[in-house]
Structure 1
């Protein structure tokens, strides 16, 4: 009987250590202490981060794009996820969140209630965002309309419905290291921040492994199948991406390609966001794309 008791104790210790290692992480309030919010910069962060693209209601027009009531649905091999309400409504939305709550959501994928968020919320990229930009984004979100639309439920089957397992996913794939390394120019550093952090471009344009983690190295930004099962996201590395930097800047501004086609689908919403940024930022994104592929 002693070996059974010892085995049970060992199993309990292993489970306890595993739960501790995979617990939802948060940071202390002093991380954001002394940062003064700038809602004007927060508006630029909002557009760069593409918040409206996912959280605006279905078929939103110009007048309703800033009503972030959620509801869009995103099919994937792991289930179908519904974008939540992130309006300033204190009950249905995130109007009751502090800047620290937003930081923990973006940086750790942890809710104010201490639960793991699914990585369909691209905190795998947002984790690289700077504290000041998060504080500024929080200030801007507070200026947007409140909407009482309740959140739609995700349709995620077992075992993916077990959020505890997401802690293990984070241990494997969540880190704030930059993918493009080296001695970068100021323009490339800005482009890297816009692409790898706020713009979360790789979430669509990079392939994933069986567990849903983004592949890096030569696979980074090399295109990926659409998780909804319709078509694919294009390869942004040469020779597939043959556009010049000026072609890319024009595309990010107007949606027109060098072949006189236009951006469609979800990319049209991305262009709407990018068009709000300073031209220097669009040029920085173009410079990053033209610096691909990575070794």
Structure 2
């Protein structure tokens, strides 16, 4: 009897050791950063970097709260979610922010969700969309950010409940939901649609708010862009596919107008977080707003996600 118990104990301990070892191997941050540090050479394009800054809405989350300058990126905005409260970090080139970051480290953070210190970032930072961006564009965005005014101050630590406060587990989440694939337009795709696809799926990360999420916080792909509960827990984000429950009756010009002035076809003015989005898209060249509108109207129509 004792031998049988001893054998069982050995098997259990062995399985536990193997399980722990597998967990640490599969959740290793470097596993999710392989190959992401390769950045093309050449001169940086600050104008392109600024364009991507506005396309990505960086100021909406990272601008210091309670002040009017969108280029003061001291962070600190609280994002209240079902998992706890996330705080947007300082993104300015100060010692409390990105001072000393190399371009490869920035690319690794944006496309792999890994910090310069080798820790996983939570996907409240939408690297699942930013992974579609090209390394050249991220090089330019990093260069632009480093020209901004340094802002002192460190954002509070995230306030998350167990087990969401265990960062290491994000490595397993990434295995399921982060593929690291850069956007490549399908062969023969209209250049306007290709530009719109890149902006919507990449820097503008539209799906991150306009889609429902599963229990693990990942986008439900079959309802991508079909609307869903506000990730911050207040209200419902609308369907932006060309379905009758979405933007099916809108014209390309009406979408461009919304992205420029905030006016809907009904002459209403949008509010909430979308108003901040328009503050950013209004800074884009007109051709980028037209590209976004064209791509949204080319999406497969989907009925709006049911509101529970």
Q: Aligned Cα RMSD in Å?
A: 2.0
2:63 paired residue among 53, 56, 59? 56
User: For the residues of structure 1 that align with 2:8 and 2:233, how far apart are their CA atoms?
Assistant: 51
Runs of 4+ in 1 over 3 A off after TM superposition: 27-30, 176-183
> 2:166 and 2:206 mapped to 1: Cα distance?
27
Residue pair 1:225, 1:232 contacting (<8 A) in 2 also: yes
Distance 1:152 1:3, change over 3 A: same
Contact conserved, 1:179 with 1:196, CA < 8 A, in 2? no
Deviates more, 1:33-42 or 1:157-166: 33-42
Mapping of 1:14-163 within 5 angstroms? 14-24=19-29, 25-27=32-34, 31-61=38-68, 64-89=69-94, 91-163=95-167
User: Number of residues paired by the alignment?
Assistant: 291
The separation in 2 between residues aligned to 1:98 and 1:154, in whole angstroms, is 25
Q: 1:261 aligns with which of 254, 265, 268?
A: 268
Q: What residue number does 2:191 align with?
A: 186
Shift of 1:78: 0.6
Q: Distance in 2 between matches of 1:176 and 1:125?
A: 10
Assess if the C-alpha contact under 8 Å between 2:74 and 2:153 holds in 1.
yes
1:5 aligns with 2:10: yes
Structure 1 distance, partners of 2:122, 2:25, is 19
What residue is the counterpart of 2:216 in the other structure? 211
1:119-168 Cα shifts (integer Å, max 9, x gaps): 00000100111000010011001100001112222111111101111111
Q: 1:173-229: CA deviations, max 9, x gaps?
A: 112456997853211111111001100000000111111110113x11000111333
Q: After superposition, where does 1:273-292 map in structure 2 within 5 Å?
A: 273-292=280-299
- Larger deviation: 17-26 or 247-256? 17-26
Q: Distance in 2 between matches of 1:179 and 1:294?
A: 22
Q: What is the TM-score of this pair, normalised by structure 1?
A: 0.93
Please give the alpha-carbon distance, in whole angstroms, between the structure 1 residues aligned to 2:33 and 2:257.
40
Q: Based on CA coordinates, which of the two structures has the bigger radius of gyration? A: 2
> Structure 2-normalised TM-score?
0.89
Counterpart-to-counterpart distance in 2, 1:69 and 1:223: 30
Q: CA deviation at 1:41?
A: 0.9
Tell whether 2:277 aligns with 1:270. yes
Distance 2:87 2:135 in 1: 27
Q: 1:150 to 1:47 in 2, by over 3 A?
A: same
**CA separation in 2, counterparts of 1:30 and 1:157?**
32
Structure 1 gap segments, 5+ residues each:
none
